[in-house]
Amino acid sequence: MAATDARPVPRKNAAFRHYFAIRKNDGTLITSWTGADSEVSLDGAAFSDCTNEATEIGSSGCGYIDLTSTEMNADAVVLKITVSNASALPLVFVLYPEEAGDYRADVTHFGGSAGTFSGGRPEVNTTHAAGTAWGSGAITAASIAADAITAAKIADGAIDAATFAAGAINASAIAADAITAAKVAADVTTELQSGLATASALSTVAGYLDTEVAAILAAVDTEVAAIKAKTDNLPASPAATGDIPSAASIADAVWDEAVADHNGAGSTGAALAAAGGSGDPWSTALPGAYSSGTAGYIIGTNLNATVSSRLASASYTAPLDAAGVRAAVGLASANLDTQLTAIDDYLDTELAAVKAKTDLLPSDPADQSAVEAAILAAWTTALTESYAANGAAFTPAQGLYAIHQMLMDFAISGTTISVKQLGGTEAFAVTLDDATTPTSASRA
Q: How far is CA 304 from CA 301, 309, 320, in A?
A: 6, 11, 31
Q: What is the pLDDT of residue 11?
A: 93
Is residue 76 within 8 Å of residue 94, measured between CB atoms?
A: yes
Over range 163-172, report the average pLDDT.
54
- Which CA distances in Å does 164 have to 158, 178, 302, 402? 11, 18, 115, 83
Is the pLDDT confidence value at 196 over 80?
Answer: no
User: 11 lies in a domain?
Assistant: yes
* DSSP category for residue 384: P
Specify if 34 maps to a domain: yes
Confidence of residue 310 (pLDDT cuts 50, 70, 90): low
Residue 75 lies in a domain: yes
- 367 in a domain, yes or no? no
| 12 domain-assigned | yes
- Structural domain ending residue among the three candidates 75, 95, 115: 95
Cross-sheet strand order for the sheet of 91-95: 48-49, 37-42, 77-82, 91-95
Does a structural domain hold residue 158?
A: no
pLDDT of residue 188: 47
Residues 261-306 have pLDDT tens digits of 887 887 887 777 776 656 566 777 787 778 888 888 888 888 777 7
Q: Within a domain: residue 165? A: no
Task: Report the mean per-residue pLDDT for the chain.
Answer: 79
- Extended beta strands in 263-415, E state: 410-413
Q: How many CB atoms lie within 10 A of CB 321?
A: 9
> Is 404 a domain residue?
yes
Q: Which of 69, 67, 70, 68 is nearest to 80 (CA)?
A: 67
Q: What is the mean pLDDT of residues 208-221?
A: 84
pTM of the predicted model as reported, rounded to 2 decimal places: 0.30
Is pLDDT above 60 for 147?
yes
Q: Is the pLDDT of residue 145 over 60?
A: yes
Q: How many helices (H) and strands (E) does the chain have?
A: 9, 17
Instruction: Report pLDDT digits (tens) over 70-103.
Output: 999 999 999 999 999 999 999 999 999 999 877 7
In angstroms, the CA 38 to CA 82 distance is: 7
Instruction: For residues 362-377, give the mean pLDDT.
Output: 69
Single residue among 71, 95, 119 that ends a domain in this structure = 95
Name the domain count of the chain: 2
> For position 48, which CATH number holds?
2.60.40.10
| Domain carrying residue 22 | 3-95
- Which tens digit of pLDDT belongs to each residue from 312-322? 555 667 788 77
Whole-angstrom Cα distance, residue 122 to residue 371?
A: 73
Under DSSP, the state recorded for 172 is G
Q: Please determine, for residue 107, whether its predicted confidence score (pLDDT) is greater than 80.
A: no
Q: Tell whether the model's pLDDT for residue 243 goes beyond 70.
A: no
Q: Which of 47, 64, 95 is the last residue of a domain?
A: 95
